[in-house]
Each structure stands twice: as C-alpha cells, then as structure tokens.
Amino acid sequence: MSTYRAPIEDMRFVMEEIAGLNDIAALPGYEDATPDLVAAILEEAGKLGTDVLAPLNMSGDAEGCTLENGVVRTPKGFKDAYKKFIDGGWNSMPFAPEIGGQGLPWLVSTGASEIWHAANMSFGLCPLLTGGAAELLSTHGSEALKAVYLENMVAGTWTGSMNLTEPQAGSDLGRIRTKAERDGATYRISGQKIYITYGEHDFTENIVHMVLARTPDAPEGVKGISLFVVPKFLVNEDGSLGARNDLRCASIEHKLGINASPTAVMLYGENDGAIGYLVGEENRGLEYMFTMMNNARLAVGLEGVAIAERAYQRARAFAEERPQGRAIDGKSKDAVAIIEHADVKRMLLDMRTKTEAVRGLAYWVAAQLDVAHRHPDAAVAAKAQGYVDLLTPVVKACSTDVGVDVANTGVQVHGGMGFINETGAAQHLRDARIAPIYEGTNGIQAIDLAGRKVARDGGEIANMLIKDIRASIANMGSAHARLTNAVDALERATAWMVETFPKDPGGAQAGAVGYLRLMGIAVGGWLMVLGMEASQRRAAEFPLLAARRLASTRYFARHLLVEAPGLADTICDGSTFIAETEIAHL
C-alpha cells in the first residue's frame, strides 16, 4: 500500500512560477519568505504529514470517534498528533507576530495546509476551523475579546468552531432560532446547532465556539442575526480556565466519510443559558461570519486539491504494481502492469491534470490574498481583493468537484480492489464527498459567483480578469488557440449573465453551475499554460517536472479547454429552459 509523500517539487514550482512567490516575498512584512525558507517549511510539513498524520488516516476512519457522558474521544493517536502539530507552530503560520503568529504569507500556509488535508483530511478540519475563527476574531472582535482568546487560538492550544446550522435552517440562515438574551455586559445563549465540526473533542482544554443567534428584538431574516463568542470554559481574569459554560455535545453524527472528525450536535443553554460575548454590533453577525466562511471556503477548496493528490498517488502506485493483461503489441504472453494500458494512462493523466489545475488556481488566489493584505499601492491591493472575491467560489466549487471526480477515478483504476476498504481508495472518495456540500453547496457557490460577484457589478471584475488573461496570452511564447477560445467563451457567457440576471434571475441561476465551471476551466487553463511555459524554461533544472507539465497541459487543452464553447452554449441557450420546466415534468 502506498505512503503519502507531499509533492514538494510541484508545490514549490506552483508557488514560484504560477503564484509569484518572489513578488509575494517583496511585499512589506513578507521579506523572510524566500524560496529556501519556503522549501524548508514544506519539507518539515511533509515529514509531519508522512510520518505522523498519514499513518492515522485509515485507522482513524475505521475506529471513528466516540461520545461517552458528554466527552468525545477521537481515534487512537489523534490527540498526540495534534500536540505535535501545535508544538511545531503549524497553526500560527499566517497570523501576525503581535498575536503570536509567524507572519508568513497565506500562500505558504496554503501549501502546508494542503499537506495536512492530503495526509489526513479528518485531522486537517480542526486547524482549518480554528484558523478561520482566529481570523474572524482578529478582524471583528473587540480588544477585550482578542486579549482573552486570540493568542491561544493562534497557537492552537484552544480550538475554534463555527456554529451556523440548525435543524430547520441549513443554508437558509435567516431561519435560525437560537436565542441571545442580554444579561448585563454578556448574553445568555440557548438553542441547538447541528453539523458542528470539532464542536467537542479531546485535543484541547477549551473550545471557542462562534455562534449565530438572535436577540429578542432583532429584525426578521438575515438582518437580525448577531454573532457571539461562546467558550466551552469561561476564562478567568488571569487567563486561567474557570467554570464550565452551559453547553454540551448531545451526539455525534454517523457519516459517509471523515469518520475521525467528530461532527457534533451542540445544545446551548439547557439551564441558565450559555454565557456569550457579542462580536461587533448586534444584527451584523452574518456579515462578520462571512470572514470565517470565506476563509473556510478557500480552505475547503484546498481539501479538494489535497484529496485529489492523495487519490492520484495511491492509484498511480497501484497501477505500477498491479500486473494484469498483456501488452497491446502482443509480443509477450506475460502480464504487464496496468499502467501500460491506454485506458489506465488516460485515467491517471486525467487525475494528475485536474489536480495540477486546481492546485494552481488555489495557490494563485492565495497569493492574491497576500497582495490584497500587504501591497502598498491601494489600487493594486483593491484589484487583488476583487480577484479573491470573484474566485473564492470558483476555488471552493471547482476544487471540491475535482476532489470527488479524481477520487472516483482512483477507485476505478484499482478495479475491484478499489471497492475493498483495505486498499484505501474508497476512503478517499467517501471523505471527498462532503467537500462540495461544506460552506455552502457548490450550487450556492455558483449562484454567488453569477449574482453577487458578476451580475451585481456589471461584470467589471470578471472582465478585468479576462482582459489580464488576454494580455498574458499575447505575451506567451507560442499560440494557444484553445485557451483563447475558452476565454472568448467565458467573455460571451459573462455578458449573457450580466444581461440576464437582472431580468430573469431564475434563468441566470439555472446557468450558474455551468458558468462557474466555465470560469474554472478558462482560468485554470490559463494557469496551466503559464506553468507549462515556465517548466520548459526550467527543463534543465526539472526535466521530469517539465515533461509532466507539458503532457498535462496538452491533456487539459485537448480534453477540458475544448469544453468551454459548449458550456457557453449551454449557459446562454439552455438555462432559461431549465428554469421554465414545470415541477411536474421533473
């Protein structure tokens, strides 16, 4: 059975040649993020992934979590692995030094995070949420709240959770019922939250819950939601832990995958009410929570990249070792490894190409986030933030769709053995399946892209990106007709979306998933070509990488970019039909 190895050479290449690591290192405060330092960080992260996290992936899946008397026990080895994780300072990478962080770029943290998720997706979910909660608190929390909670959360000695969903309120958060009654300077929280990842666990002494709730006089709908910090244990003035708050884990879910990650049903305020602390102003909670949600959407997209990489590695190793069938030339009666068969070559090339494409997309957007945060030119920073906002739903949806697709193909490469748990291929598919649902389903991401990110501003940011891609193509060393055709298709579909959404939102929404996929193909194809051209310039230094990049970019052009014009036709000519179809005809 194959062992996970972080693809450090390819990760470094993407950071340097596609995401522009040198430009990121030139930003104020990021000067230490040199290629040598980044290489050292990824090497150490890779060791933790290979030696500590990956060996727990299958055993954790088999054992799962248990709930006894309100206490959740994670699988054997997970608690010790988490201690090694925080002792290594991995949780604090992208945060400012003044709150205990290392001040490294989000781009570098993104690379390390891919390793955690690929090695052990169930484990990686805990720091994913803690990091998002820490960013939320550092952005919107009062100085008093930051002083109490932030350093421990940045260090990972306390973890964070996101409490949005209720039994009657999934994606429709305007329907939440959890109450927040004012009690002097604090609030008393009561209600039920479901699907709370790492809402209870045994990694740390304290868990800091970010909870959406309503005050008694709040307006209806999303405009009446407030956000509260609700700790598992209250914190004394000296920073020590005090009394247990009035909250508990009622049960943990039995799931298709990520079985080593406890998904909790949380009950707040069964007695006097859980003490909560208001973040920012009342009735602006959903606005604040979007800081954590967008952080999580990029991170969940990275989960898709990671699970695709892990599934590809396992499938390729199996294909090299599994003898089956004769060579097509018939010159030998001996069985050959299945990697020699054309259809297996096709599957592996498809898996690797799609993984490379979404890695490039995720890393490029992470770099834009660094530019938005640190660039001294306000116009440059604003443009980068526009690209982050535009492409966050694309990273989330395209990458997680690829994760499922690649993991599914990985099972197929294994044949009958892929359907057997012992090979590990099935676990990747089961684990990957949650990611297109997390943090707003991929359909919701598509509607967000089409409506809020494109139609609302008349396509300004989308067309700015299209213009930049066209300028980049013009400066490339050779003609790329299929890429140009894909960009033409994206431009056409963008114009249709801008025109259609205001007058026929139902028709536009019916085409939103196709539009998101089209944007992912066009932007991903552009980044693939950029990477391919850079790899050819460095072929003497990285001969195998250059050869693989050339092969994967050719595959992308011939098998994925060619879909773009058809997608544009589907969006512009077929979406209204979907919206007009009667329910009885479904």
SS3 assignment, position 511? coil
Spatial CA neighbour of 164 closest among 303, 278, 293, 299: 293
Residue 275, strand partner residues: 188
At position 260, the amino acid (one-letter code) is: A
Cβ contacts of 221-224, under 8 Å, gap ≥ 24: 221/174, 222/173, 222/174, 222/286, 223/283, 224/283
Residue 420 has pLDDT above 70, yes or no: yes
Tens digits of per-residue pLDDT, 82-108? 999 999 999 999 999 999 999 999 999
pLDDT at residue 1 in the model? 64
Give the CATH number, domain containing residue 145.
1.10.540.10
Is the torsion defined by CA of 575, 578, 581, 583 positive or negative?
Answer: negative
Asked whether residue 343 is assigned to any structural domain, the reply reads no
Q: Are residues 240 and 131 part of one domain?
A: no
Q: Are residues 118 and 186 part of one domain?
A: no
Residue 344 has pLDDT above 90, yes or no: yes
Using a pLDDT cut of 90, give the percent of the chain over it: 95
The stretch 356-361 carries a mean pLDDT of: 98
- Give residue 577's pLDDT band: very low, low, confident or very high (50, 70, 90): confident
- Six-digit token string for 148: 């109490």
pLDDT at residue 227 in the model? 98
Asked whether residue 551 is assigned to any structural domain, the reply reads yes
Is the torsion defined by CA of 509, 511, 515, 517 positive or negative?
Answer: positive
pLDDT at residue 574 in the model? 87
CA distance 295 to 444: 16
pLDDT at residue 448 in the model? 98
Asked whether residue 418 is assigned to any structural domain, the reply reads no
Backbone angles phi, psi at 181, to 5 degrees: -95, 130
The stretch 56-79 carries a mean pLDDT of: 97
Domain edge (last residue) among 270, 288, 306:
288
Tens digits of per-residue pLDDT, 255-275? 999 999 999 999 999 999 999
Number of domains in the chain: 3
Asked whether residue 315 is assigned to any structural domain, the reply reads no
CB 163 within 8 A of CB 209: yes
Give the CATH number, domain containing residue 189.
2.40.110.20
Q: Are residues 261 and 228 part of one domain?
A: yes
Q: Are residues 503 and 515 part of one domain?
A: yes
Domain edge (last residue) among 124, 155, 186:
155
SS3 assignment, position 179? strand
- Six-digit token string for 459: 């396509």
Asked whether residue 323 is assigned to any structural domain, the reply reads no
Q: Are residues 136 and 58 part of one domain?
A: yes
Q: Are residues 221 and 142 part of one domain?
A: no
Lowest mean pLDDT among 76-90, 397-411, 466-480: 466-480
Spatial CA neighbour of 469 closest among 561, 393, 542, 550: 561
Tens digits of per-residue pLDDT, 3-43? 999 999 999 999 999 999 999 999 999 999 999 999 999 99
Q: CA distances (Å), 548 to each of 349, 473, 481, 535, 555, in order?
A: 9, 21, 21, 9, 11
Alpha helices in 183-263 (DSSP H): none
CA distance 178 to 227: 11
Spatial CA neighbour of 191 closest among 172, 163, 170: 163
The stretch 435-455 carries a mean pLDDT of: 97
Q: Are residues 166 and 107 part of one domain?
A: no
Active site residue 439: yes
Residue bearing tokens 């005050």 = 215
Element at 158 (helix H, strand E): strand 158-163
State the residue range of the domain holding 222: 159-288
Asked whether residue 440 is assigned to any structural domain, the reply reads no
Domain edge (last residue) among 155, 183, 213:
155
Element at 229 (helix H, strand E): strand 226-231
pLDDT at residue 478 in the model? 79
CA distance 525 to 304: 18
CA distance 363 to 301: 11
Residue 331 has pLDDT above 80, yes or no: no
Q: Are residues 482 and 462 part of one domain?
A: yes
Q: How many CA atoms lie within 13 A of 534 on its CB side?
A: 17
In sequence order, which residues have a C-beta less than 8 Å from that of residue 121 and are 6 or more positions away?
Answer: 57, 258, 261, 303, 306, 307, 431, 432
pLDDT at residue 328 in the model? 85
CA distance 105 to 93: 8
CA distance 2 to 82: 23
SS3 assignment, position 272? coil
Q: Are residues 45 and 33 part of one domain?
A: yes
Tens digits of per-residue pLDDT, 113-150? 999 999 999 999 999 999 999 999 999 999 999 999 99
CB 284 within 8 A of CB 226: yes
Asked whether residue 214 is assigned to any structural domain, the reply reads yes
CA distance 144 to 110: 30
Residue 471 has pLDDT above 70, yes or no: yes
Q: Are residues 574 and 536 part of one domain?
A: yes
Asked whether residue 191 is assigned to any structural domain, the reply reads yes
CA distance 41 to 555: 32
Q: Are residues 143 and 106 part of one domain?
A: yes
pLDDT at residue 111 in the model? 98
CA distance 416 to 360: 32
- Give residue 198's pLDDT band: very low, low, confident or very high (50, 70, 90): very high
CB 230 within 8 A of CB 274: yes
Q: Are residues 243 and 166 part of one domain?
A: yes
The stretch 559-575 carries a mean pLDDT of: 96
- Six-digit token string for 31: 């000067």
HEC string of 34-75 equals CHHHHHHHHHHHHHHHHHHHHHHHHHHHHHCCEEECCEEECC
Element at 549 (helix H, strand E): helix 543-559
Among 439, 499, 533, 563, the active-site one is: 439
Q: CA distances (Å), 372 to each of 292, 368, 489, in order?
A: 17, 6, 28
Q: Is 278 exposed, middle or buried (0-12, 13-18, 19+ CB in 10 A)?
A: buried
The stretch 329-354 carries a mean pLDDT of: 93
Residue 71, strand partner residues: 68
Following CA atoms 201, 206, 209, 215 in sequence, which dihedral angle do they give, to the nearest 10 degrees? 130
pTM for this entry: 0.97
Residue 118 CA, distance from chain mean position: 12
